[in-house]
């Protein structure tokens, strides 16, 4: 295994890591049990009593807004015999009652009902009811309404875990003081390893002109022509990185309009993005596209043409989780996100743009998954153990970059950024992966 | 309770034939011909099903669907399939749309029929991975667009009710 991690760190990826039960067992033990794992967004549970049930690998959690408005994550297992106390995936409830013996819990997790407490336990003398709660998630925190669980009670604070990547998260999840609302997720299973999607969204500008050629052929998306794509910058900042497109000349407003934002939204965006965040678009000319936050949370922002009759493009945002099922299977959870304060017509058009491009029916996504399933299947054989996949794009043999990093005045965001095709971000993601596993 | 048309009613027979003929077009991925069977104002919707408590009053995800299409977006999907770069279906899947449990109801006027059907899609790709199944119910609105003698029905609205909350299919690069 030591050799494996050394290979990964120099950008030569043992192909079997994309379909290897032993590696997956290690990921469960050392990665998913320690990192901050995305479980949902606060806007999914807007009212008191609203809940969704989400998994971190094999562990089910009730994410609920209690009757006082607090958001909690509670392990979905009855304290008595271990039955799931909530078997719906969403709804509104003041209480959760275990179907096995009828123990019931308030939506803040407190045990309130215990049938025959006196007769069976001798009352509080035998079993003190007060103070008993469903097990809280060891660590639970949010950023811009994005909810994360860590199974490690000693995990570093979420803010520190995300670090400078928060700068970029704001582009996707803070476009006004009200924040985003999310819808979904669409959920479906693909026979592909979870890392492939995470890597792809983190920095794979190189696949866009080829994998997604059909999208350009039909005029749905005007940007991914090969020449244009490599003019974009990729950036990596602490626990995440992503891709951008280079936009035509113009200032901040002009460029936001170019991708389809109406003026009233641009006005609100200017109120909440820092001057430095605005400078990435307005001065440097880069517009965020796909991104990944380690380990398995990704984002995408694109601007297709959504109506036949006009040439106007519309931006959409998707948040997606690559939920690992096994070494060779992933449940994709794909949400549509839009600024809560956006005009209703914009929300409708943006939703339509999302459905056409990403998600279970998305025309971009369809072709991606075809590749990832094929890759995963092939990685399960014995020959894959003899193959090191070359993930050194953008590096010369002495590890110096083919294209130098952008100076701060050309890219105002934190971290390292560069233009041109490269696999810097995929390597950064897998280096983190190696650090957690080793 | 709504009473379906009798199975020997000519309107039911025409509606049933419409669905069966359509299934053959979809099996063959003959999407150009399929588009011609849709009205220009067609709506084609497939909500996301969710597991909710009995009595919750809903079992679809609010504000989210797999498909929520009009003629433009369906035409774009079909146009994409016709390019040389639609890898999701190249090589094509082997598809079989099984249509059964067809019931027809009279519409608001003579030019409309409501048709319910059950559908099982079998999809097989390549030679290694297992085939995939998709079970769903459909509620269709057919509109008469030609002389009564010819049938001349077109699909004006379709709701596809998936029977799974988590689809066991790698994508929906298919129509239902």
Residue owning tokens 């002389």: B147
Within 8 A of A355 by CB-CB distance, chain B residues are 65-69, 73
Phi, psi angle pair for B55, to nearest 5°: 95, -5
- B132: chain A residues, CB-CB within 8 Å: none
Helix residue ranges, H only, A10-154: 21-26, 117-121
The residues near A280 (Cβ < 8 Å, ≥ 6 apart) are: A244, A286, A288, A411, A412, A413
Contacts of A118 (CB under 8 A, 6+ apart): none
**Token duo for residue B75:** 């035409």
* Cα torsion through B104, B110, B112, B114, rounded to 10: -20
The per-residue pLDDT for A312 is 85
CB A437 within 8 A of CB A222: no
Whether the pLDDT of residue A210 is over 90: the answer is no
Digit-coded pLDDT (tens) for A32-91: 999 999 999 999 999 999 999 999 999 999 999 998 989 999 999 999 999 999 999 999
Interface of A with B in 250-309 (CB under 8 A): 306-308
Please report the pLDDT score of residue A143 as a whole number: 98
pLDDT at B149 over 70: no
**What does the block give as tokens for A434?**
């190696």
Classified as helix, coil or strand, B93 is: coil
Q: Is A367 on the interface with B (CB under 8 A)?
A: yes
Please give the pLDDT value at position B70: 95
Taking residues B76-90, what's their average pLDDT?
Answer: 91
CB atoms within 10 A of CB B154: 17
Please check whether residue A188 touches B, CB under 8 A: yes
Q: Which helix (H) or strand (E) holds A142?
A: strand A139-143
CB A349 within 8 A of CB A306: yes
Q: In angstroms, what separates the C-alpha of B78 from chain A's closest C-alpha? A: 10
Is residue B136 a contact partner of residue B162, using CB atoms and an 8 Å limit? Answer: yes
Integer distance in angstroms from the first to the last C-alpha of chain B?
27
Q: Which of A16, A378, A394, A380 has its CA nearest to residue A204? A: A394
- Candidate from A91, A183, A214 with C-beta closest to B64: A183
Q: How much is the average pLDDT of B123-144? A: 95
Best B124, B170, B172, B176 residue to mutate vs chain A (most A CBs within 10 Å): B170
Q: Mind listing the pLDDT tens digit for each residue in A238-272?
A: 999 999 999 999 999 999 999 999 999 999 999 99
Give the minimum alpha-carbon distance from B62 to chain A in angstroms, rounded to a whole number. 7
Nearest residue of A to residue B93, measured between CA atoms: A370
The Cα A337–Cα A370 span in angstroms is 25
Q: What CA–CA distance (Å, rounded) separates A39 from A54?
A: 6
Q: Is A62 on the interface with B (CB under 8 A)?
A: no
Q: What are φ and ψ of residue B6, in 5° steps? A: -60, 150
How confident is the model over A348-374, as a mean pLDDT? 93
Helix/strand/coil for B140: strand
A319 touches A309 (CB < 8 A):
no
Assign B102 a pLDDT band (cuts: 50, 70, 90): very high
Compute how many other C-beta atoms are within 10 angstroms of the C-beta atom of residue B122.
15
Q: In chain B, which residue's Cα lies nearest the Cα of A188?
A: B167
Distance CA(A65)–CA(A417), nearest Å, equals 39
**Strand B153-162 to B38-49 pairing:** parallel
Mean pLDDT throughout A376-386?
A: 96
Cβ–Cβ under 8 Å, residues B59 and A181 = no
Per the CB < 8 Å rule, is B165 touching A367?
no
**What's the pLDDT at A121?**
95
CB atoms within 10 A of CB A48: 15
**A161-176 pLDDT, tens digit each:** 999 999 999 999 999 9
Q: What is the CA radius of gyration of chain A?
A: 23
Range 77-96 of A in CB contact (< 8 A) with B? 87-93
Beta-carbon separation of B129 and A377 below 8 A:
yes
Q: How confident is the model at residue B150 (pLDDT cuts 50, 70, 90)?
A: low
Question: Are the C-beta atoms of residues A266 and A253 closer than 8 Å to each other?
Answer: yes
Whether omega for the bond prior to residue B32 falls within 30 degrees of 0, making it cis, is no
Give percent of chain A above pLDDT 90: 89
A20-24, A305-309, B73-77, B78-82, range with the lowest pLDDT:
A305-309
Q: pLDDT grade, residue B30 (50/70/90)?
A: very high
The pLDDT value given to residue A438: 93
ipTM exceeding cut-off 0.85 for this assembly: yes
| Nearest-by-Cβ selection for B48 from A186, A214, A218 | A186
- Gap between the Cα atoms of A350 and A309, Å rounded: 16
Does the beta-carbon distance from B62 to A184 stay under 8 Å? Answer: no
Residues in chain B with CB shorter than 8 Å from the CB of A356 are 73, 76-77
Of A88, A211, A356, the CB nearest to B87: A211
pTM of the predicted model over 0.90:
yes
Predicted confidence at residue A307, as pLDDT, reads: 83
pLDDT at B151 over 80: no
| Mean pLDDT calculated for residue range A116-141 | 96
Question: How many C-beta atoms surround the C-beta of residue A396 within 10 A?
Answer: 9
Task: Calculate how close chain B gets to A218, using CA atoms only, in Å.
Answer: 6
Q: Which candidate, B137, B114, B85, B64, places its Cα nearest to that of A188?
A: B64
CB A390 within 8 A of CB A423: no
Judging by beta carbons within 10 Å of its beta carbon (0-12, 13-18, 19+), is residue A404 exposed, middle or buried? exposed
- Give tens-digit pLDDT for A179-190: 999 999 999 999
Question: By percentage, how much of chain A surpasses pLDDT 70?
Answer: 99
Cβ pair A355:B73 closer than 8 A: yes
Alpha-carbon A39 to chain mean position:
9
Q: Which residues of B62-84 are buried (b: 16+ CB within 10 A; e: fewer)?
A: ebbbbbbbbbbbbbbbbbbbeee
Which residues of chain B does A363 touch, with a Cβ-Cβ cutoff of 8 Å?
Answer: 76-77, 80
Of A188, A365, A367, the CB nearest to B169: A188
C-alpha A304/C-alpha A302 separation (Å) is 6
Give residues with Cβ within 8 angstroms of A227, minimum separation 6.
none
- Return the ∠ at Cα B152 (arms to B149 and B158), rounded to 5°: 140
pLDDT for residue A397 is more than 70: yes
**Could you give the strand order of the β-sheet that contains A146-150, starting from the edge strand earlier in sequence?**
A36-41, A146-150, A139-143
Averaged pLDDT of chain A = 95
Average pLDDT over residues A9-30: 97
Q: What distance in Å separates residue A308's CA from the closest CA in chain B?
A: 6
Q: Do A185 and B64 touch (CB under 8 A)?
A: yes
Find which of A54, A55, A90 to mutate to test the B interface (most B CBs within 10 Å of its CB).
Answer: A90
Beta-carbon separation of B76 and A218 below 8 A: yes
CA atoms within 13 A on the CB side of B76: 26
For residue A91, the chain B residue with the least C-alpha distance is B52
- Hey, are the CB atoms on B173 and A366 less than 8 Å from each other? yes
Of A318, A320, A257, the C-alpha closest to A287 is A257
Q: Is 90 exceeded by the pLDDT of residue A101?
A: yes
């Amino acid at each position: 295994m030591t050799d494996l991690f050394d290979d990964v760190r120099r950008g030569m990826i043992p192909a079997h890591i994309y379909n290897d039960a032993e590696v997956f067992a290690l990921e469960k033990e050392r990665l998913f049990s320690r990192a901050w794992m995305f479980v949902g967004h606060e806007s999914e549970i807007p009212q008191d009593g609203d809940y969704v049930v989400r998994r971190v690998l094999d562990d089910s959690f009730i994410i609920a807004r209690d009757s006082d408005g607090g958001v909690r994550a509670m392990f979905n297992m009855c304290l008595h015999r271990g039955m799931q106390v909530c078997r719906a995936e969403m709804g509104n409830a003041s209480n959760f009652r275990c179907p096995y013996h009828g123990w019931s819990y308030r939506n803040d997790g407190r045990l309130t009902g215990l049938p025959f407490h006196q007769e069976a336990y001798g009352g509080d003398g035998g079993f003190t009811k007060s103070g008993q709660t469903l097990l809280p998630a060891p660590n639970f925190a949010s950023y811009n309404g994005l909810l994360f669980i860590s199974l490690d009670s000693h995990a570093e604070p979420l803010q520190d875990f995300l670090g400078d990547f928060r700068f970029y998260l704001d582009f996707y999840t803070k476009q006004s003081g009200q924040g985003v609302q999310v819808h979904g997720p669409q959920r479906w299973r693909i026979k592909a390893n979870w890392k492939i999607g995470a890597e792809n969204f983190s920095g794979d500008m190189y696949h866009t002109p080829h994998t997604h050629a059909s999208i350009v052929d039909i005029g749905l998306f005007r940007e991914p022509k090969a020449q244009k794509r490599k003019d974009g910058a990729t950036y990596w900042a602490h626990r995440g990185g992503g891709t951008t497109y280079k936009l035509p000349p113009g200032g901040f407003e002009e460029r936001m309009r170019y991708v389809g934002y109406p003026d009233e939204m641009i006005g609100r965006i200017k109120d909440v993005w820092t001057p430095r965040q605005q400078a990435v678009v307005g001065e440097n000319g880069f517009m965020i596209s796909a991104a990944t936050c380690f380990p398995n949370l990704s984002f995408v922002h694109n601007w297709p043409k959504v109506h036949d009759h006009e040439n106007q493009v519309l931006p959409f945002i998707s948040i997606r989780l690559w939920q690992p099922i096994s070494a060779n299977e992933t449940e994709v959870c794909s949400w549509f996100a839009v600024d809560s304060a956006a005009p209703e017509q914009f929300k409708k058009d943006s939703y339509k743009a999302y459905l056409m491009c990403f998600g279970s029916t998305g025309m971009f996504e369809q072709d991606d998954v075809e590749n990832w399933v094929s890759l995963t299947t092939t990685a399960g054989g014995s020959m894959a153990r003899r193959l090191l996949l070359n993930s050194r794009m953008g590096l010369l043999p002495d590890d110096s970059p083919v294209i130098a990093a952008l100076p701060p005045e050309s890219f105002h965001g934190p971290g390292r950024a560069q233009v041109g095709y490269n696999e810097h971000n995929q390597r950064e993601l897998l280096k983190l992966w190696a650090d957690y596993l080793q | 309770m709504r009473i379906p048309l009798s199975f020997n009613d000519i309107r039911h027979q025409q509606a049933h034939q419409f669905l069966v003929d359509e299934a053959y077009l979809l099996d063959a991925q003959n999407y150009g011909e399929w588009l011609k069977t849709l009205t220009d104002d067609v709506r084609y919707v497939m909500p996301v099903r969710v597991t909710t408590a009995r009595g919750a009053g809903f079992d679809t995800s609010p504000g989210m669907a797999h498909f929520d299409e009009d003629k433009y977006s369906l035409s774009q999907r079909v146009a994409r399939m016709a390019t040389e770069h639609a890898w999701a279906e190249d090589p094509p899947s082997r598809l079989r749309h099984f249509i059964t449990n067809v019931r027809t109801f009279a519409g608001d006027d003579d030019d409309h029929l409501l048709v319910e059907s059950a559908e099982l899609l079998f999809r097989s790709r390549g030679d290694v991975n297992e085939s995939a199944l998709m079970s769903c119910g459909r509620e269709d609105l057919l509109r008469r667009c030609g002389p009564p003698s010819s049938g001349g029905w077109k699909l004006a609205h379709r709701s596809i009710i998936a029977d799974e909350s988590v689809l066991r299919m790698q994508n929906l690069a298919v129509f239902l």
